[in-house]
Amino acid sequence: MYLNQISTVLFDLDGTLIDTAPDLAYALNLTRSNYGLPPIEFNDIRQVVSLGGAAMIKLAFNVEKTDAEFPEIRDKFLSIYSDNIHTHSKLFDGMENVINTLDDTGYRWGIVTNKPEWLTTPLLESMGLDKRVKCVVSGDTLPYMKPSPEPLLHACKQLQCPADVCVYIGDAKRDIEAGCAAGMLTIIATYGYIEETTILDEWGANSMISHPEELLEWLNNGQL
| Of residues 179, 186, 164, the one with CA closest to residue 5 | 164
Instruction: Write down the catalytic residue from 12, 19, 23, 171.
Output: 12
| Of residues 147, 156, 151, the one with CA closest to residue 137 | 151
User: Does residue 14 carry a catalytic annotation?
Assistant: yes
User: Does residue 12 carry a catalytic annotation?
Assistant: yes
Sequence-distant (≥ 6) Cβ neighbours of residue 91 within 8 angstroms: 17, 18, 19, 99, 127
Backbone angles phi, psi at 180, to 5 degrees: -65, -45
Measure Cα distances from 69 to 37, 62, 66 in Å.
16, 11, 9
Give the active site residues.
12, 14
